[in-house]
Amino acid sequence: MKKVNVIGVPEHFNLPWHLAIEEGAFEDRGIDLQWTDIPEGTGRMCDMLEAGEADLAIVLTEGIVKKITEGLEAKIVREYISTPLQWGIHVAAESHYQKVEELQHARAAISRFGSGSHLMAFVNARQQGWDTKSLKFKEIQHLEGAIEALSNKEADYFMWEHFTTKPLVDEGIFRRLGDCPTPWPCFVIAANDRFLEKEHGTLEHILEIMDNYTGEFRNIPSIDRTLSNRYGQQLEDIRIWLSSTRWSQKQISEEVIENVSNTLLYLKLIDEKAEVSDLLWKKS
């Protein structure tokens, strides 16, 4: 059995991986696929790819483009979610902030620097017409850290996936002021270069399996109820999310990568753009 370490956030987007593992789809191909949830998100996962602690990661597009541009030895091997991520903009329930426009000089909670919550704060600031140089941040590691930071007024707002945080809004812990969608497909599958050099055949098996599972995922009977039960979300919220989410079975386009790189460069989050060929894996 070929052991492969795969990491991703503990969110509903990644249920196809768990179903494939539980149904023995990888074992049937001689692959011992070990999944690890990483609640800290993309910044932490990029560090794990770099350290060789993971072979594959399901990460945010903008985060992995930034990290590879800065020297991470990895490649994007597949577009995973072809639709944008809806980033909810949240404050503590008792916060005096009532509109997104009021957050211009507020402090943003972020899981870590280089994470999606960090990068999307810049995207949101650009959309609002704010000076991005004045943005302030509080590093909080994960969702639980955000709850603590906003409750203790160590940070003023927090951007995280709309439906993942919806239960906290329903419970009266967070209040959502608005949403900021990513201007591109939100999740990709990335692999570190060492794995690509040695195990490209194994990777092709994994991608073939996942293409089958993601291609059929939305048509699985009662998948909405399965998602609701496994991730503790309201059935109606899951149905809304499913209706606007599409899984991909192809490589992300060069045009999308150019858009992401241009945006990161404009926001001064990278010093220069990488060649698209340095970012995308192509079958030999």
Residues 130 and 212 placed together within one structural domain of the fold: no
Tell me if 113 is assigned to some domain.
yes
pLDDT recorded at residue 283: 79
Tell me if 14 is assigned to some domain.
yes
Give pLDDT tens digits for 129-163. Answer: 999 999 999 999 999 999 999 999 999 999 999 99
Region 122-129 average pLDDT: 95
Which residue among 148, 181, 214 closes a domain?
181
Q: How confident is the prediction for the chain on average, in pLDDT?
A: 96
* Domain of residue 255, residue span: 2-84+184-279
Residues 271 and 192 placed together within one structural domain of the fold: yes
Give pLDDT tens digits for 93-103. Answer: 999 999 999 99
For residue 1, pLDDT over 70 is answered with: yes
Tell me if 236 is assigned to some domain.
yes
Region 224-252 average pLDDT: 96
Residues 93 and 176 placed together within one structural domain of the fold: yes
Instruction: Check which CATH number belongs to the domain holding 77 and give it.
Output: 3.40.190.10
Residues 173 and 105 placed together within one structural domain of the fold: yes
Residues 80 and 188 placed together within one structural domain of the fold: yes
Residues 67 and 21 placed together within one structural domain of the fold: yes
Residues 189 and 274 placed together within one structural domain of the fold: yes
Region 111-134 average pLDDT: 93
pLDDT recorded at residue 102: 97
Q: Are 126 and 267 in contact (CB under 8 A)?
A: yes
Number of structural domains (the chain) is 2
Q: Are 190 and 75 in contact (CB under 8 A)?
A: yes
Residues 75 and 210 placed together within one structural domain of the fold: yes
For residue 282, pLDDT over 90 is answered with: no
pLDDT recorded at residue 222: 97
Cα separation, 241 vs 13, whole angstroms: 10
Residues 202 and 248 placed together within one structural domain of the fold: yes
Residues 47 and 167 placed together within one structural domain of the fold: no
Residues 193 and 63 placed together within one structural domain of the fold: yes
Residues 135 and 271 placed together within one structural domain of the fold: no
Which residue among 128, 147, 181 closes a domain?
181
Tell me if 284 is assigned to some domain.
no
Region 262-268 average pLDDT: 93
Place of tokens 């709850």: 147
pLDDT recorded at residue 284: 67
Which residue among 181, 205, 233 closes a domain?
181
Distance separating the N- and C-terminal Cα atoms of the chain: 24
- What pTM value is reported for the model? 0.93
Tell me if 32 is assigned to some domain.
yes
Give pLDDT tens digits for 188-218. Answer: 999 999 999 999 999 999 999 999 999 999 9
Give pLDDT tens digits for 30-86. Answer: 999 999 999 999 999 999 999 999 999 999 999 999 999 999 999 999 999 999 999
